[in-house]
Amino acid sequence: MSWLVNDIRPGKVLLVGEAMGLFTAGEEGPCSQVGAFGASVAGAELNVAIGLRRLGQDPLYMTKIGDDPLGERIRLFMEANQLDTSLVELNRERHTGFMMKTKESVGDPKTYYFRKNSAASTIGAGDVRALDLSGVSVLHLTGILPPLSESCLAASKELLCAARANHMFISFDPNLRPVLWRDAETMRSTLRSLASHADLVLPGIGEGVELFGVERVEDIAQAFLDNGSRVVVVKDGPRGAYVSDGKRSAYVPGFVVDHVVDTVGCGDGFAAGVLSGLLEGLTVEAAVERGCALGAIQTQHVSDNEGLPTPQELAEFTASHTRVAL
C-alpha cells in the first residue's frame, strides 16, 4: 500500500549538531598501533545535510567549531559541498571535536570520540532563538545533540518548540550514543520524550530494543506510534525497512551489494534519502526505497559521507542493483 505524507512541504531543512574531524585507520588493527590514518569530516547531522544537498535539497546546518585546523577543515568541506556556512560559529575558547575509527574487514568498525568540552557542546537555546527560520519547512533532529551538554539538551527542546510554532515537519533519528549519556534511564526517557514530538521517526532495531524493549519491526513501529510519533520507519539493516503510520504499513526491501566496506554513516544516508524523497512528493514507500539505496551506497565507502550520491549516481545505482528477496 502506497501513500503520501501530505503535511511536508518544500523548503529548507534545518539541522543542528556537532561536526567533527574523522581519522580513519588506513589498515586493520587497534588505533593505538595503526601507522597511518585518513582525515575527513563527520557528524550525523552534517552527513544528512550533505546527502540532502547532493540530491538538490536546501539544508541549513548550524554548528560551532574551534579556531583550529579541524574547524577549518569542516568549514572548507562544507564550502566544497556547497553548504551554507552562515550558521557555523567560531568559538575561540573551545576546540573542535574529533573521532577515530578502525578499519575492519568483517563487522562494524570501532569508533572513539573526543568531544568533551568541544565548541559544539556550547550550542544552547539562545542560539536557536536567534535563528532566522524564514523558508524552513523541516527540522531534522538526532539523539546525538541532546546529551552533549545541558545547553545542547535545552537547544534540542527549543528546536522542537520553534518547529511546532513555525509549522515545520519534524524528523527525528534516535541515533543512540550511550557513552554520551550519564545513565541509560536518562537516555531512554529523554529520547522517548523527543520522539513523541516527531512527525517522522527513524529508529533501528537496536533502538527499539533499548527504548521500548521490543525487537520485531512491527512492534517497534507500534511502540513509537503509541509514544506519539506519526510515521515510523524502522531500519532493518541490509534487509530493508518497515514503515507504518498506524493505519497503513509496508515492508520495503533493501538493495543487494557485493560487499560491505564500512557501515558507519549508513543511517544518515538513509535519513537523507527518505527526507529528500518526501520533500519531492514521492510516496512513503518510494522515499523509503531511496533511503535504502543511500544506506547501501554508503556501505561501499570508508568515509561517513563520501559516497552520498547525486541524482544521476542514485539512478545508476538503483538501475544496476537488485532488491533483497524477502
Which CATH code, of 3.40.1190.20, 3.90.380.10, 1.10.287.950, 3.40.50.300, is assigned to 13-320?
Answer: 3.40.1190.20
Handedness of CA 263, 269, 271, 274 (dihedral sign): negative
Average pLDDT over the chain, rounded to whole? 95
Q: Grid coordinates in use for 56? A: 538538490
Letter for the amino acid at 35? G
Note the pLDDT tens digit of each residue in 116-158. Answer: 999 999 999 999 999 999 999 999 999 999 999 999 999 999 9
**Strand (E) or helix (H) holding 126:** helix 125-129
Question: Over the stretch 147-188, which tens digit does the pLDDT of each residue have?
Answer: 999 999 999 999 999 999 999 999 999 999 998 999 999 999
What residue ranges do the domains of the chain occupy?
Answer: 13-320
pLDDT (mean) for 208-235: 98
Residue 280 is which amino acid? Answer: E
d(Cα 190, Cα 211) in Å, to the nearest integer? 10
CA distances from 220 to 177, 192, 242 (A): 19, 12, 10
Query: Which amino acid does the sequence have at 63?
Result: T
- Say whether pLDDT at 319 is over 70: yes
Nearest by Cα to 148 from 127, 124, 168: 124
> Torsion angle, CA of 320/217/8/164, rounded to 10 degrees?
-150
Between CA 230 and CA 192 the distance in angstroms is 14
Which DSSP category does 288 fall into? H
What is residue 31's predicted lDDT score, i.e. its pLDDT? 96
In this prediction the pTM is 0.95
Sheet of 20-28, strand order: 37-42, 20-28, 98-103, 111-114
**DSSP state, 8?**
-
Taking the CB of residue 257, how many other CB atoms lie within 10 A of it?
16
270-292 pLDDT, tens digit per residue, is: 999 999 999 999 999 999 999 99
Find where cell 557528524 sits.
43
pLDDT at 1 over 70: no
Report the alpha-carbon distance of residue 84 to residue 61 in Å, rounded.
7
Question: How many of the other CB atoms lie within 10 Å of CB of 234?
Answer: 26
- Percent of the chain surpassing pLDDT 70: 100
Concatenated DSSP letters of 188-252: HHHHHHHHTT-SEE--BHHHHHHHHS--SHHHHHHHHHHHT-SEEEEE-GGGEEEEE-SS-EEEE
3-state DSSP assignment of residue 169: strand
Q: Where are the beta strands (DSSP E) in the chain?
A: 12-16, 20-28, 37-42, 59-66, 88-91, 98-103, 111-114, 136-142, 169-173, 200-201, 231-235, 240-244, 249-253
Distance CA 48, CA 63 (A): 14
Query: Could you tell me whether strands 200-201 and 12-16 are parallel, antiparallel, or unpaired per DSSP bridges?
Result: unpaired
Give per-residue pLDDT as tens, 83-120.
Answer: 999 999 999 999 999 999 999 888 888 989 999 999 99
Helix, coil or strand: residue 37: strand
pLDDT digits (tens, 9 = 90+) for 239-267: 999 999 999 999 999 999 988 877 777 89
Active-site residues: which are they?
268
